[in-house]
Chain A
């Protein structure tokens, strides 16, 4: 830059020269953006002459429209508030309309002789940086995509594994029931055990991949915490009985029944903790304790604790057991099995709630896992609801006309069966569009709306129904199997009145309907004549329903078969423990399945057995007789459904 002139003096560069030729661009502008000075470097980068820019262009004009909006809404306000902005990434438009990636620093300049604020921007050319950045972002995107693809693959393959696994379990069960010698029986038992473990593992993997891909969201649904606990306790009571350990349950007397929150997540965490506690406890007890930390008019803060007298955990393993695929030690995995995912999943589910699992434990003495959760009280759920839930079979719904919307004919069929049992009239629609048309055509009191349907889904259909000029809008109840996404928010937006998660029991549906339709406390009982059946089942009900559609028959019978195979497993564990409560709940659960295939003899036998257990009236011999009879009858029902299914296969 400097050169020796004729007189022998070196030329010292002026500030102006330094400004014009600086390695960065400079531009100065007024509060409305009018440019009053710009340096040579920037003119050079942009391809403008000084005359074209100075006092003619506004700073904003250097940007594309998107950039201008950003300038007005973010950039300029920021300068005006803090007097500067640093390192803002803008693409500047060259005269030839190509883009120059830049980093901008702007500061406010207050000159002493003028009131007017001016601004000076220094601009760095970051074309090279931008290229690196692009590469980095692309690499990150690719890595994220790969990870997503992996998760999707994992979830797909888990689904695929589940189907044959269920078959293995079902057949294994049947196999176990055939006449086998002691060795074969032991082999079959191991086969069943291993299949069950494998199914548990696959289910955990599925959950984990859902959590990883952020598909798991918290719901805010009304639920009965006492019902949830009742089911949990009765399930784990059986397991404790099998292991001859005690199940202690301590609940606060003033535990409110109706809460708003996510019952599925709570159930999953408690199931995991109780399952672990029982698994790792040989003698002593497993204790579930719930205490109220805070209770206000609208909210409750609960502590859940599961403790045991099992093998305990060494302190240096406290953190590791919450890591994916890790257990306290390799030996634990060998000895007790499991995936090492349960606690990780539980911890992640608690994180969603903003909570965390606490652990106290001593090796050899036992462990105590606890966590705290906030719930809103469900103030709308009154006593009436409780009554409906408790004795729904004895109530009668007020007459109403109902529209059932579902793309799966089997679901329509099942729901319609419930509705006709309750003397409600109904129509069906197989998609959202049909539903909207049907509601437009005639008055419905209530619409049961599946949310996931092709073309027009339940939300869209509900919105469309709300837009119809009706004299009286129907109540809309959503039905959905997947509890993902912001369901409650979306429900509200579509003006949907209520929600029933799938799969639901008749009691759940009845309860929801009674909330919206009203119910009489009549002596109404669903009655069925019990004809003397030469065979154990009768498929006429299914046949009538299918109206000659063989595909429908195959589906309906396939799921019935699976259901009975599962029920048989349950009844076997019940007959070994002779637990009358568990039996009653199984009978309740089976009622619709029994009704469909008209397995009256099985139904009668189970009722008799139930009565005897409840009143502890039976002699052992009679009990054993019944147990044998039930077992035989189950076998027959399964074989008959299987045979029928075989006969309609192409």
Chain B
């Protein structure tokens, strides 16, 4: 298959290029949101780096038509997209920042083309969400099924999808828009599939293969990546710097952008 060109990719992944530096820093958002996730973080890198923001296919303003259940039935599909973007932009010596599930997508991308990446920054990473034979991922299988079920009965979707269905005017988007939350809109069907792929994946073996040096940012009180998972990451990844953040929750890039930025900058400075 021929590799897609840049204008196709720009449309597919809603790519945005910013910054005045030369070394590229690519930000990959996690499950549940889009590139808006980085709005408080990327400005701190604009002066020194070339910044690449994008939406995974199915999220944000990506081209939903490019979504294929087959391709995105494993995280590798998303990793290949990142590699295509890097290739089309002719990026090298890349710093790839992955939040949440994208930290594993970043690991897969780096394993597929190790020569492209200088560093990975993994924010709240977890190679396996489900507890497994002594391994603590933090979740039981039934919890994940509960999540998938809840996604189907749609949280965000109530106003976005149920209202028009019940009111019987699906053709008047205006009405829906007033009620809808404007960021991080995802097609519920895709969100549900992404959730399934994310939470059912097991990337522990991929961690063992990782050669690219990386920074692991572990949050406090993060349901999605409990301390045991952080400890596991620390032990299994060959070249890593482990940094415990004070920030709570799963999204330090939003709740504590300063602390997050400082940690990344400190790591990059020491790495030079």
Which A residues are closer than 8 A to B by beta carbons?
31-33, 60, 64-70, 72-78, 80-82, 85-91, 103, 132-133, 136, 140, 298, 376, 379, 485-486, 488-490, 492-493
Nearest chain A CB to B167 CB, angstrom units = 11
- Tell me whether B215 is interfacial, beta carbon within 8 Å: no
Contacts of B254 in A (CB 8 A): 76-77, 80-81
Whether B151 contacts A32 by the Cβ 8 Å rule is no
Whether B166 contacts A89 by the Cβ 8 Å rule is no
CA–CA, A457 and B219, complex, Å: 44
CB closest residue in chain A, given B148: A66
- Tell me whether B162 is interfacial, beta carbon within 8 Å: yes
Whether B71 contacts A64 by the Cβ 8 Å rule is no
Nearest chain A CB to B75 CB, angstrom units = 13
Whether A489 contacts B71 by the Cβ 8 Å rule is yes
CB closest residue in chain A, given B160: A87
Whether A77 contacts B33 by the Cβ 8 Å rule is yes
Whether B154 contacts A89 by the Cβ 8 Å rule is yes
Given contacts A70-B151, A72-B250, A89-B153, is CB(A82)–CB(B69) below 8 Å? no
Given contacts A32-B249, A65-B146, A77-B32, is CB(A86)–CB(B39) below 8 Å? no
Whether A31 contacts B255 by the Cβ 8 Å rule is yes
Contacts of B36 in A (CB 8 A): 81
Nearest chain A CB to B64 CB, angstrom units = 13
Contacts of A485 in B (CB 8 A): 70
Nearest chain A CB to B192 CB, angstrom units = 11
Q: Among A64, A73, A90, A486, which residue has its beta carbon within 8 angstroms of that of B31?
A: A73
Whether A86 contacts B181 by the Cβ 8 Å rule is yes
Q: Among A73, A133, A493, which residue has its beta carbon within 8 angstroms of that of B33?
A: A73
Q: Among A76, A85, A89, A486, which residue has its beta carbon within 8 angstroms of that of B69?
A: A486
- Tell me whether B223 is interfacial, beta carbon within 8 Å: yes
- Number of residues in B with C-beta < 8 Å to the partner? 52
Most interface-central of A69, A88, A133 (chain B CB within 10 A)? A69
CA–CA, A136 and B168, complex, Å: 11
Whether B158 contacts A77 by the Cβ 8 Å rule is no
Contacts of A90 in B (CB 8 A): 155
The 7 lowest CB-CB distance pairs between A and B, nearest first, are A73-B32, A66-B147, A66-B146, A65-B143, A89-B158, A72-B250, A32-B248
- Tell me whether B262 is interfacial, beta carbon within 8 Å: no
Whether B150 contacts A87 by the Cβ 8 Å rule is no
Whether B1 contacts A492 by the Cβ 8 Å rule is yes
Contacts of B199 in A (CB 8 A): 69
Contacts of A91 in B (CB 8 A): 150
Whether B155 contacts A74 by the Cβ 8 Å rule is yes
Whether A133 contacts B162 by the Cβ 8 Å rule is yes
- Tell me whether B156 is interfacial, beta carbon within 8 Å: yes
CA–CA, A448 and B203, complex, Å: 33
Whether B149 contacts A66 by the Cβ 8 Å rule is yes
Whether A69 contacts B223 by the Cβ 8 Å rule is yes
23 A/B residue pairs, CB under 8 Å, sorted by A: A32-B249, A33-B248, A33-B249, A64-B146, A65-B143, A66-B150, A68-B223, A69-B199, A72-B250, A72-B251, A73-B31, A74-B184, A77-B184, A86-B181, A87-B159, A88-B156, A89-B153, A132-B166, A140-B165, A376-B2, A486-B71, A488-B1, A493-B70
Nearest chain A CB to B36 CB, angstrom units = 6
> Could you tell me which residues of chain B, from 179 to 236, have a CB within 8 Å of some CB in chain A?
179, 181-184, 199, 221-224
- Tell me whether B30 is interfacial, beta carbon within 8 Å: yes
Contacts of A75 in B (CB 8 A): 155
Nearest chain B CB to A93 CB, angstrom units = 12
Nearest chain A CB to B153 CB, angstrom units = 7
Q: Among B68, B70, B158, B223, which residue has its beta carbon within 8 angstroms of that of A88?
A: B158
Whether A82 contacts B181 by the Cβ 8 Å rule is yes
Nearest chain A CB to B28 CB, angstrom units = 15
CB closest residue in chain B, given A73: B32
Given contacts A69-B224, A298-B2, is CB(A87)–CB(B148) below 8 Å? no
- Interface SS, A side: helix
Whether B144 contacts A73 by the Cβ 8 Å rule is no
CA–CA, A535 and B230, complex, Å: 82
Whether B251 contacts A77 by the Cβ 8 Å rule is yes
Whether A489 contacts B70 by the Cβ 8 Å rule is yes
Nearest chain A CB to B128 CB, angstrom units = 15
- Tell me whether B37 is interfacial, beta carbon within 8 Å: yes
Q: Among B30, B32, B70, B251, which residue has its beta carbon within 8 angstroms of that of A80?
A: B251
Contacts of A132 in B (CB 8 A): 166
- Tell me whether B260 is interfacial, beta carbon within 8 Å: no
Q: Among B139, B151, B250, B255, which residue has its beta carbon within 8 angstroms of that of A65?
A: B139
Contacts of A68 in B (CB 8 A): 223
Whether A66 contacts B33 by the Cβ 8 Å rule is no
Q: Among A72, A73, A82, A86, which residue has its beta carbon within 8 angstroms of that of B159?
A: A86
Whether A76 contacts B251 by the Cβ 8 Å rule is yes
CA–CA, A376 and B223, complex, Å: 46
CA–CA, A488 and B68, complex, Å: 11
Contacts of A136 in B (CB 8 A): 165-166
Whether A70 contacts B181 by the Cβ 8 Å rule is no
CA–CA, A86 and B163, complex, Å: 13
Whether A133 contacts B166 by the Cβ 8 Å rule is yes
> Could you tell me which residues of chain B, from 1 to 42, have a CB within 8 Å of some CB in chain A?
1-2, 5, 30-33, 36-37, 39
Q: Among B150, B181, B224, which residue has its beta carbon within 8 angstroms of that of A67?
A: B150
CA–CA, A231 and B212, complex, Å: 55
CA–CA, A91 and B155, complex, Å: 9
With A69-B147, A73-B100 already in contact, 14 other A-B pairs whose C-beta atoms are closer than 8 Å: A33-B249, A65-B139, A66-B145, A76-B254, A78-B183, A80-B255, A86-B179, A89-B153, A89-B154, A89-B155, A376-B2, A488-B1, A489-B70, A493-B70
CB closest residue in chain B, given A378: B2
CB closest residue in chain B, given A91: B150
Contacts of B154 in A (CB 8 A): 89
Contacts of A76 in B (CB 8 A): 249-251, 254-255
Contacts of B2 in A (CB 8 A): 298, 376, 379
Whether B70 contacts A78 by the Cβ 8 Å rule is no
Whether A78 contacts B223 by the Cβ 8 Å rule is no
CA–CA, A626 and B33, complex, Å: 75
Whether B148 contacts A74 by the Cβ 8 Å rule is no
CA–CA, A219 and B2, complex, Å: 15
CA–CA, A32 and B252, complex, Å: 11
Given contacts A72-B249, A74-B156, A77-B37, is CB(A66)–CB(B70) below 8 Å? no
Question: What string of 1s and 0s marks CB contacts (under 8 Å) between B124-164 and chain A?
Answer: 00000000000000011001111111110111111100100
Given contacts A31-B248, A65-B147, is CB(A60)–CB(B68) below 8 Å? no
Contacts of B143 in A (CB 8 A): 64-66, 69
Nearest chain A CB to B263 CB, angstrom units = 18
Nearest chain B CB to A194 CB, angstrom units = 43
Given contacts A73-B33, A77-B33, A103-B158, is CB(A87)–CB(B250) below 8 Å? no
CA–CA, A475 and B232, complex, Å: 40
Contacts of A78 in B (CB 8 A): 33, 181, 183-184
Nearest chain B CB to A99 CB, angstrom units = 11
Whether A81 contacts B183 by the Cβ 8 Å rule is yes
Whether B223 contacts A72 by the Cβ 8 Å rule is yes
Q: Among B100, B183, B250, B251, which residue has its beta carbon within 8 angstroms of that of A82?
A: B183
Contacts of A72 in B (CB 8 A): 222-224, 249-251
